[in-house]
Amino acid sequence: MNEEKPEFLKGTLDMLILKVVALGPIHGYAIAQRIQQISRDFFQLQQGSLYPALHRLEDRGWLRAEWKATETGRDAKFYALTPKGRKQLEAEVHNWERLTDAVALILRTAE
């Protein structure tokens, strides 16, 4: 399972990050926690691979970043969704649903 994950995750990781950030400005560590939480620990991703993805999404203009103080008083880099990012998220969710529908169809009829 661990070997397959990197291939599988590349496109979907972006989508998951966008979804998590869509709920409100959030920093990297919290994103990692949430993904683990929501997916009920299914994704044991190398947490380090989160950050290149975050930087990539920021570079593409889908996320906006800002250094703010956290409750502990320490500064952290908070990411928020841009309008472009919101559109991208909608598009990716749409594509994902179509993909899963198609795969399900094939699996059902192939039996």
**Can you give the binding site for another protein, defined by CB under 8 A?**
27-29, 32, 46-49, 51-52, 55-56, 59, 65, 67, 74-77
For residues 28 and 54, the answer to whether their CB atoms sit within 8 Å is: yes
DSSP 29-77: HHHHHHHHHHTTT-----GGGHHHHHHHHHHTTSEEEEEEE-TTS-EEE
Closest approach of Cβ 25 to another protein, in Å? 15
Nearer to another protein, 84 or 98 (CB): 84
Closest approach of Cβ 48 to another protein, in Å? 3
Rounded distance between C-alpha atoms, residue 63 and residue 80, angstroms: 6
Closest approach of Cβ 86 to another protein, in Å? 19
Nearer to another protein, 55 or 86 (CB): 55
Between CA 100 and CA 54, with CA 94 as vertex, the angle to 5 degrees is: 100
Nearer to another protein, 11 or 98 (CB): 11
Nearer to another protein, 5 or 77 (CB): 77
